[in-house]
Amino acid sequence: MPRLRKRIANRLKDSQNTFAMLTTFNEVDMTNLMKLRSDYKDEFVKKHGVKLGLMSCFVKAAVSGLQNQPIVNAVIDGDDIIYRDYVDVSVAVGTSKGLVVPVIRDADTMNFADIEKGINNLAKKATEGALSIDEMAGGTFTISNGGVYGSLISTPIINPPQSAILGMHSIVQRPVVVDGSILARPMMYLALTYDHRLIDGREAVYFLRRIKDVVEDPRRLLLDI
């Protein structure tokens, strides 16, 4: 077994043996976020030199959710609960050798362009096998996007020693009721796996609802509401 695969296997088994894992689900209408990207994609690239992707939007949404429900950003340490006043988001990246999870440091202080540049830089290093141990250590929350492989829904496993992980999935046109009419909308299922020893169901659901609210109406990020 290659060393990276062995390390992944050990961490996943440690996660299953340590956490009381539970997964809650929701779905988001991606219409407004996709329109935002379409309307400003050229201006964004021209000004910042990077494309505006979905992941940066979900990182920003996760930051908002973690600030709204700080217990999701906390961790159990022995008999203590440690609350972090910073947000370091781990982003799962698939490579030919296995899954790696580099960290976007201080994501709560970054704008969309900073996050995109950070993701692009870390993804490039991951593909080249050039990530350092420091670049993969110390995250407080993880986002995994199985949608890039066509996953419709899944139950992601917590990345220890964190307390929760958000799973993104494929965007699929589905019929939904909007103001009494049935319309085809681009929908995505979201999954939040969390450590039930620390996080209650109410807090997990509120966190995921915050993600949903922000993604469906990105103006909330601008207005901080």
CA atoms within 13 A on the CB side of 221: 23
Active site residue 79: no
Catalytic residue among 39, 42, 134, 200: 200
Pairing of strands 164-168, 93-95: unpaired
Contact 224, 46 (CB under 8 A): no
Q: At what angle do helices 54-68 and 201-216 cross, to 10 degrees?
A: 140
Those residues with Cβ within 8 angstroms of residue 73's Cβ, 6 or more apart along the chain or in another chain: 66, 83, 84, 87, 140, 141, 163
Catalytic residue among 48, 106, 114, 196: 196
How is residue 42 written in tokens? Answer: 């050229």
Contact 32, 61 (CB under 8 A): no
Active site residue 196: yes
Ramachandran region of residue 83, left (φ > 0), alpha (ψ -120 to 50) or beta? beta
Which residues carry out catalysis? 196, 200
